[in-house]
Amino acid sequence: MNNPTKVIAIDGPSASGKSTVARKVAAGLGYRYVDSGALYRGIAWKAADSGCDVARNEDVVAAMGRMKVEFFEEAGAIRYRIDGVEPRAEIRTERVSGLVSLVAAMPEVRAQVTRWLRDMAQFGDLVMEGRDIGTVVFPGADAKFYLDASPEERARRRHAELKPAGETADVNRVMDSLKNRDQRDSGRATAPLKLAADAQVVDTTGLNIDQVVEVILKRLDKPLSKSSPPLS
């Protein structure tokens, strides 16, 4: 695929550090950041909120067909509203995290989200994070990174994120829930999480966010200049 704009794909499992890293890489390059998982989460949240059985493919597809989804650019990111509402904390709950991998396994949902993600190139150069960005959404991406970290490190990170969101969960339960999600994301028939043949792997275990951002920008041959936004 020949992209009219530049696309950097950042894929990897849950809590591998993709979101914060991708946001900072986008800021460092002056590109727009896209969180593709937030769209799957938004559909799961809205479908559940409208009373549909999120395990039933045809119910979710019908609910998605009724949703009015609009995209806009703000603060260096492409964001979206569903039926006029931009969902935020409500799509980050453990409940939505439990439902979203069911929704993300549905081929019709993936086809629609993939169309939306490809259309975002009209906003300009993108750093897009997800599970299938380098393999399915933008196989011709200008650069592809695959971030990973040990399961223990990922569970620790996710646990630390849940606390400020007001959710309490035991770290072992968080690890079980991540493992279940990894299995569903990697085992599904349509666009499973897998390493693109031409992706560069970055193991983020033991690295902080800024170190990972630096590794990526270096590999892109764009080390941070003094005028780049601060990394903290």
CB of 226 to ligand DC, least distance (A): 32
- How far, in Å, are 112, 147, 154 from residue 42 at the CA level? 13, 23, 23
Nearer to ligand DC, 155 or 224 (CB): 155
132 binds ligand DC (CB under 6 A): yes
DSSP 85: B
- What the block records as the tokens of 28 is 């460092």
144 binds ligand DC (CB under 6 A): no
127 binds ligand DC (CB under 6 A): no
134 binds ligand DC (CB under 6 A): no
- Scanning 35-43, 147-155, 165-173, 208-216 for contacts with ligand DC by CB under 6 A, the matching segment is 35-43
181 binds ligand DC (CB under 6 A): yes
Footprint on residues 86-105 left by ligand DC (CB under 6 A): 100-101, 104
- What the block records as the tokens of 85 is 């509402």
CB of 132 to ligand DC, least distance (A): 5
Instruction: Tell me how long the chain is.
Output: 232
- How far is residue 158's CA from residue 175's CA, in Å, rounded to a whole number? 9
131 binds ligand DC (CB under 6 A): yes
First to last CA, the chain: 35
214 binds ligand DC (CB under 6 A): no
Give residues with Cβ within 8 angstroms of 212, minimum separation 6: 17, 21, 147, 202, 204
Strand partners, 129: 10, 35
Residues near ligand DC (CB under 6 A) are: 14, 36-37, 40-41, 100-101, 104, 130-133, 181, 185
